Amino acid sequence: MEELMEMVATYMGSATKDEYEEIAKTIRHDLVFSEYGQEIENYIRYIPNTADICRTCGEGFPSQVYLVCTNTGELYDLDLFEKGANPDAGEYGYMSMSFGYDEVSQTSLHITKTPENKEGTVTVQRGRGIVSVQRMKSLFCDDCIREMLETVENQLVEEFVIFDAEGQKFYAVDDGSVQIGDYELQVEYDEGDYEIEVRYAK
Ligand SMILES: [Zn+2]
């Protein structure tokens, strides 16, 4: 695979447009992000985008914070309260648990929300850590793909990104904290898995 990608990178530098299409076709079935290193722009340009609607574009998302699976386009809602609710006045929903799985990377998610305590936890159990650019091309627009790939570049977790739906910004799942809207996310690494603590911090 690595040899093939080197070959492709070399071709990309000198090929005509028709040749690019031929090369892209050959490798498209198993094009994997972590294999292509510095060539983000080439793959964005030469693999056709077939997404009718981009999952992370536009306005009017019902929640502020999501975890986005780059392989499936699934958006996992991390908000603890409905938009406009007033948690300080006791307006919160019920405790909830949900589960997610990405068969490409074999990563699974467990999301537990305890609105009463104004907190939630996401456990990210990682598998092969693979990102398929071909799949992304059928789920997101090229601008979002570029931003997502640049965000996860050189990060351990590439198959999920944290998404600020109002600010249209992406953040890597990496050690540290980030404030998005009314929520503070604290990411911790623990023996191969990641844990994201979500706290209401308005
Ligand atoms: Zn987009």
Region 179-186 average pLDDT:
95
CA–centroid distance, residue 152 to ligand 1 (Å): 16
Task: Read off φ and ψ for residue 88, nearest 5 degrees.
Answer: -70, -20
pLDDT tens, residue by residue, 102-150: 998 899 999 999 998 999 999 999 988 888 888 999 999 999 999 999 8
Give the model's pLDDT for residue 30. Answer: 47
Distance CA(184)–CA(186), nearest Å, equals: 7
pLDDT tens, residue by residue, 40-93: 787 788 889 999 999 999 888 999 999 999 999 999 999 999 887 877 777 667
Q: Which two tokens stand for residue 103?
A: 């068969």
Q: Is the CB of residue 116 less than 8 Å from the CB of residue 92?
A: yes
CA–centroid distance, residue 141 to ligand 1 (Å): 4
Distance CA(117)–CA(139), nearest Å, equals: 35
Give the model's pLDDT for residue 65. Answer: 97
CA–centroid distance, residue 21 to ligand 1 (Å): 23
Task: Identify the CA nearest to 168 among candidates 3, 21, 85, 56.
Answer: 56
CA–centroid distance, residue 23 to ligand 1 (Å): 25
Distance CA(187)–CA(190), nearest Å, equals: 10
What are the beta bridge partners of residue 198? 120, 185
CA–centroid distance, residue 167 to ligand 1 (Å): 13
CA–centroid distance, residue 68 to ligand 1 (Å): 12
ipTM for the predicted complex: 0.99
CA–centroid distance, residue 140 to ligand 1 (Å): 5
Collapsing DSSP to helix, strand or coil, 123 comes out as strand
Q: Would you tell me how many other CB atoms lie within 10 Å of the CB of residue 166?
A: 14
Task: Identify the CA nearest to 140 among candidates 69, 78, 85.
Answer: 69
